[in-house]
Amino acid sequence: MSGHSKWANIKHKKAATDAKRGKVFTKILKEITVAAHTGGSDQDANPRLRAAIDNAKSNNIPLDTVNRAIKKGTGELEGVHYDEYTYEGYGPNGVALILEIMTDNKQRTVSEIRHLLTKFGGNLGESGSVAWNFNRKGKIIITSKNVDEDNLMMDALDAGAEDIIQEKDNFEIITSNKDFNTVKEDLKSKKYPIENADIEQIPGTTVKLNYEEAKKFFELYELLDDYDDIQKVWDNSDISEEILVKLEKEIN
């Protein structure tokens, strides 16, 4: 679990770097537009929109920009219509992938994703080919500095959390999909320092990678993650702490 958590931390750092280049901004605003389109503009009645707006705030996206994205979703302003898809497949060395897509041109997106996977020895799979190995869970990452573990455990479990995992500098609060927002809002109201909160696809079984395999996989991961039509990339790679430290140095 610690290896996969370290991998998740690297992805969070990459997201912070991407935010400086505007890539994360684009994906967050696309999520806000689609959330408003599917569930309306009322945050209280639309948990998906509320979560997207919280994400926008944490990334310092201006309120005016957020409001324009909402209005594009509700049709008050003209905008591009995006359809949502989930694709499954494999990367190098049989690593399972789940790709969450938002696109205005499905044919183009599928063709380009297939090309990327093939280039790295992977392929697109049928629906259900890898999803059976993943569970959708809420994950709330809280900075451990100045946080009492016993108090956090009591508060998180009382709010409906399923599990708490302590890493080096963080606590990871695991929730069910349906209880995610309730637990997050409860911990936020108690002033816990939430570093990241999202619904994730957590793998049951994993594929162990050596350094060269991990480096090749990360090259593919970066290309997929940078692709505008891909909102999120989930995988079941198992990479040791030692290898992840080397990869992290290459990112920085």
With residues binned 3-state (H G I as helix, E B as strand, rest as coil), the percentages for the chain, rounded to 5, are 50, 25, 25
Instruction: Quote the tokens at residue 208.
Output: 């162990």
pLDDT at 225: 87
In SS3 terms, 61-72 reads as CCHHHHHHHHHH
Tell me the sheet residues that pair with 163.
174
The domains of the chain, with CATH numbers, are 2-74 (1.10.10.200)
Q: Residue 60: which H helix or E strand, with range?
A: none
pLDDT at 42: 94
Would you write out the chain's pLDDT as a tens digit for each of its 252 residues?
333 455 665 665 666 565 556 778 889 999 999 999 999 999 989 989 998 998 898 888 999 999 999 999 999 999 889 999 999 999 999 999 999 999 999 999 999 999 999 999 999 999 999 999 999 999 999 988 889 999 999 999 999 999 998 877 889 999 999 999 899 999 999 999 998 888 899 999 999 999 999 999 989 998 998 899 999 999 999 988 888 888 777 765
- Whole-model pTM? 0.84
Q: Where do we find the tokens 């190098």?
A: 92
Is residue 183 a contact partner of residue 161, using CB atoms and an 8 Å limit?
yes
